[in-house]
Chains A and B, each alone.
Chain A
Amino acid sequence: MTTELQLVAAAKAGSADAFADLARRYRERLLRFLLTRCASLADAEDVLQDTLINAYRYIHSYDPRWRFSTWLYRIAIRNASKLRGPQLVDVASMGELRDEESDPLLQCIADSEKENLWVVARRLLNDDVFAAMWLRYAEDMSVNDISTTLDRSVSWTKVNLMRGRRALDDELNDTVGKSEAYG
C-alpha cells in the first residue's frame, strides 16, 4: 500500500492520480467537518471541491514537516471562511436559527434519543473553538497541529479546548439534572 508521503511526492511530481488517491482518503472527513460550518450541503460540497483543487494546485508549497491533514484542514477552513456573508451564517447561531429540515448537519445525523453533542457544541461555541474541539475530538489531532491549522497559538488552543469542554460539561450536567428532576 502506498504511504501518504509517497502519494504526496508523486502528486508534487504532477501525478493527478496520486492526488486523487490522497483526496479519496480525506474527502469524507473534510465534508463532515465542512457540513458543520456551511449553511447547506451544496455549499459544503463546493468548499470541499475548492479545497482539493487549491491543495493540488499549490501542492509544491506543502511542507512534509506538517501532517498532510493539518495542511488540508487549514485550506478547508480558509475556503469555508470565504463563504462568510449571505451564504454562511455564524456557526453558533445555526443551531438556533435553522430548523431541522434545512440544517444539513441535522439531516445527516442518525436518529437517536440523545441530542448529538456536536449540535450542542455548535450552539454553544464560536467558530474557532468549535473547530478546535472538532479537530481534537473527531480528528484526534494534536494541540500543536490544531494551533497550526487554526493559525492560533498553542496556549490559545489549550485554553479554548478547556473552555469548550467545560461549556459542554456544564450543558450535559444541566440536561442530566433536568431529566433526573422530571424523570
Chain B
Amino acid sequence: MDKLARQLREDADRINVTVSDELDHRIEASLRAVTPERARPAMPVARPPLFWWASTITGVAAALAVIAIVNWQTSEQQTATPVQVADLEPPIDLNLEAAMLTAPLEEELEALQSDLKKAEEKVRRDIGL
C-alpha cells in the first residue's frame, strides 16, 4: 500500500460514525414491516384447445406443401436433357512431352552435383589430401 492509499484509509477511519439506537430501532422496525418480494415463477400460458388444433393443422399443411414442392422440383430436374460431355473440345492442348516437364529438374540436379563436387575438392585441398 502506498503513502496516499494509506493516508486515505487512515482518514476514512477518522470519520467517526455510529448508528444511533433510535436509527437502529427504526431500521429494525422497517425491516419487520417489509415483506420481501418473491421471484415470480414462470407461469405456463393457458391456451384454448382450438389453438392446439389450429397449430397442428397448420404444421401438417406446411409439411405437405414442402413435400409437394420438393417432389415437383425433382421430377422437373429429371426431364432436363443431359449435356454431351464427349462433344466438348478441351480448351487447352495438354499433349506435352515428358522431357518438357523434367528438363528443368535435371538441370538443377546437375548443378547441385557439380557444386557438391567443387566443395569436396576444396575440402580435400584445405586438409592437404
Contacts and interface: CB of A to CB of B under 8 A. Distances in A.
B69 interface: no
A93 B15 CA distance: 19
Contacts of A19: 31
A48 interface: yes
B36 A137 contact: no
A53 B27 CA distance: 8
Given A19-B31, A20-B31, A27-B27, A60 B9 contact: no
B15 A32 contact: yes
Nearest to B7: A117
Interface in A38-90: 45, 48-49, 52-53, 56-61
Interface stretch (B17-25, B45-53, B75-83, B96-104): B17-25
A23 B27 CA distance: 9
A116 B19 CA distance: 22
A11 B32 CA distance: 12
Contact of B9 (A28, A56, A138): A138
B27 A28 contact: no
Contacts of A172: 4
Contacts of A60: 36-39
A1 interface: no
B30 interface: yes
B124 interface: no
Contacts of B4: 117, 165, 168-169, 172
B93 interface: no
A118 B8 contact: yes
A53 B34 contact: yes
